[in-house]
């Protein structure tokens, strides 16, 4: 697995991310091709080697014909992305970044994401930064992004809404659940665009993970700083894929006034919305009232959607959330043939050894009912069939891939 570790010791901005990607080996022509796919005329990229303090890095310039900061809405930005012949993963990543920006601004200004006026981040150079970053990360084959604690700087900044403290309110809203710190550098080191890109695409935060380093690159900021090299460091390396580590969103709600029969349809709707797992835990609340803690594990990109399902289909007034790291085993799903029919079986490996063989309960129940035999018999038949398949070193394809065996 190829890891990209962004070391934000001097903050982060959109052009610093582009500079780091080019410094890491991304050809400027390929980056220009990704930005050109937006279909917006007048966006030209250039790059140069510059010195920041005692070190050198790559500075990427985004040149546009646009004057001022047009007030685009989220729908305007999404329309540009939807028209662009971009690879689906790049378009999806860019759209998620802009939706995250819109959500942060909406919370600050007390409105809804669709009504937010993008000021600086709606300009063509910001579009180029976001799409260029999403494109470049894919082009370099970075499968997993880690981000250090982010240096925010300090002092005040002037923007479309006037003078504001660093971090500006929109940037601060993007930092929920993200390690960050202020410093004595009296300027904005972390811009909304840079923070939105990394916090949307990051898998985890903290110190550099264990990996075999293959490249160290530096993206330069526009300004020279006294006593500090204004650079974003990108460390690229290879890590073993087993076991994998990723980030997950944990949603929780404590409920004490709902008919227990309503939990089953709520759980079904959560799974339909993309929840990875849902659990119910009985608890005793104040005044000795019995209650239930609903816990849903979801991909961070689907947290908003699943939270809305909980609020819409339960009596709770709020949903808690936090990000958590998890370690996962590579796995696949195969279909085996038993004397009574076909059963899907989940398998997982650790260090090349098969550790989990789990027949699908619904398949076993269906065959047991149809054959009028105990479900344990079907379960044992499916497990024996799966164990008889000699694939000791793990799945040959991606996790979750399905194969058929008879």
What is the DSSP annotation of 139-206? Answer: HTT--EEEE-PEE-B-SEEEETTEEEESSPHHHHHHTTT--EE--S--SB-B-HHHHHHHHHH-SEES
pLDDT tens sequence across 89-127: 899 999 999 999 988 888 887 888 887 767 555 478 889
Three-class secondary structure of residue 77 per DSSP: helix
Query: For the chain, which residues score pLDDT lower than 70?
Result: 68-71, 117, 119-122, 159-161, 240-245, 390-406
Q: Can you give the pTM of this predicted structure?
A: 0.62
Q: Which distant-in-sequence residues (6+ apart) come within 8 Å of 185 by Cβ?
A: 151, 153, 154, 155, 225, 228
Q: Are 326 and 309 in contact (CB under 8 A)?
A: no
For residue 36, give the DSSP letter: H
Q: In 262-319, at which residue ranges do the beta strands (DSSP E only) sit?
A: 277-284, 290-298
Q: Are 158 and 128 in contact (CB under 8 A)?
A: no
Q: Report the distance separating Cα 13 and Cα 157, nearest Å.
A: 15
Residue 210: phi and psi, rounded to 5, are -65, 125
Q: Report the distance separating Cα 28 and Cα 246, nearest Å.
A: 30
Chain position carrying tokens 């005329």: 41
Give all domains of the chain, ordered by start, each with its CATH number: 2-238 (no CATH), 245-328 (3.30.70.1380), 331-405 (3.10.20)
Token pair in block for residue 24: 């890491």
Q: What's the confidence (pLDDT) of residue 45? A: 96
138 by Cβ neighbours in 10 Å (0-12 / 13-18 / 19+) ranks as middle
For residue 39, give the DSSP letter: -
Q: Which distant-in-sequence residues (6+ apart) come within 8 Å of 67 by Cβ?
A: none
Token pair in block for residue 164: 């504001």
Q: What's the confidence (pLDDT) of residue 132? A: 97
Q: What's the confidence (pLDDT) of residue 354? A: 87
Q: Report the distance separating Cα 237 and Cα 142, nearest Å.
A: 9
Q: Which distant-in-sequence residues (6+ apart) come within 8 Å of 118 by Cβ?
A: 71, 72, 73, 74, 76, 77, 98, 101, 102, 105, 126
Reported as type and span, the H/E element at residue 104 is: helix 88-109
Q: Report the distance separating Cα 305 and Cα 357, nearest Å.
A: 31
Q: Report the distance separating Cα 252 and Cα 255, nearest Å.
A: 10
Q: Report the distance separating Cα 192 and Cα 104, nearest Å.
A: 10
Q: Taking Cα atoms as reference points, which of 254, 321, 324, 257 lies closest to residue 292?
A: 254
Q: What's the confidence (pLDDT) of residue 68? A: 61
């Amino acid at each position: 697995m190829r890891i990209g570790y962004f070391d934000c010791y001097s903050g982060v901005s959109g052009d610093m991310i582009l500079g780091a990607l080019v410094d890491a080996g991304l050809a400027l022509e390929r980056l220009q091709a990704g930005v050109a796919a937006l279909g917006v005329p007048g966006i030209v990229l250039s790059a140069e080697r510059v010195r920041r303090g005692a070190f050198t890095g790559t500075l990427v310039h985004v040149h546009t014909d646009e004057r001022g900061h047009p007030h685009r809405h989220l729908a305007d930005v999404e329309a540009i992305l939807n028209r662009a012949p971009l690879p689906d993963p790049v378009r999806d990543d860019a759209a998620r970044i802009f939706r995250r920006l819109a959500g942060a601004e909406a919370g600050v200004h007390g409105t809804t994401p669709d009504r937010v006026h993008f000021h600086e981040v709606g300009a063509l150079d910001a579009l180029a930064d976001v799409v260029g970053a999403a494109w470049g990360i894919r082009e370099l084959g970075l499968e997993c992004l880690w981000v250090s604690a982010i240096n925010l700087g300090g002092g005040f900044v002037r923007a479309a809404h006037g003078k504001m403290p660093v971090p500006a309110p929109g940037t601060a809203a993007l930092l929920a659940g993200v390690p960050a710190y202020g410093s004595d550098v009296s300027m904005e080191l972390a811009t909304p665009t840079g923070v939105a890109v990394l916090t949307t695409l990051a898998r985890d935060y903290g110190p550099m993970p264990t990996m075999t380093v293959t490249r160290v690159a530096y993206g330069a900021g526009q300004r020279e700083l006294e006593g500090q090299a204004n650079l974003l460091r990108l460390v690229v390396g290879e890590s073993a894929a087993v076991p994998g580590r990723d980030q997950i969103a944990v949603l929780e709600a404590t409920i004490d006034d709902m008919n227990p029969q309503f939990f089953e349809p709520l759980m079904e709707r959560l799974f339909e919305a993309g929840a990875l797992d849902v659990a119910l835990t009985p608890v005793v609340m104040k005044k000795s009232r019995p209650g239930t803690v609903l816990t849903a594990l979801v991909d961070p990109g689907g947290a908003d959607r699943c939270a809305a399902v909980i609020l819409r289909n339960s009596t709770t007034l709020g949903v808690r959330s936090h990000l958590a790291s998890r370690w996962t085993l590579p796995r696949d799903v195969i279909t085996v043939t038993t004397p009574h029919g076909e059963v899907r079986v989940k398998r997982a490996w650790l260090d090349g050894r098969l550790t989990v063989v789990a027949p699908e309960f619904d398949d076993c129940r269906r065959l047991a009912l149809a054959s009028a035999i105990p479900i344990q018999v079907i379960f044992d038949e499916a497990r024996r069939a799966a164990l008889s398949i000699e694939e000791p070193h793990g799945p040959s394809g991606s996790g979750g891939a399905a194969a058929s065996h008879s």
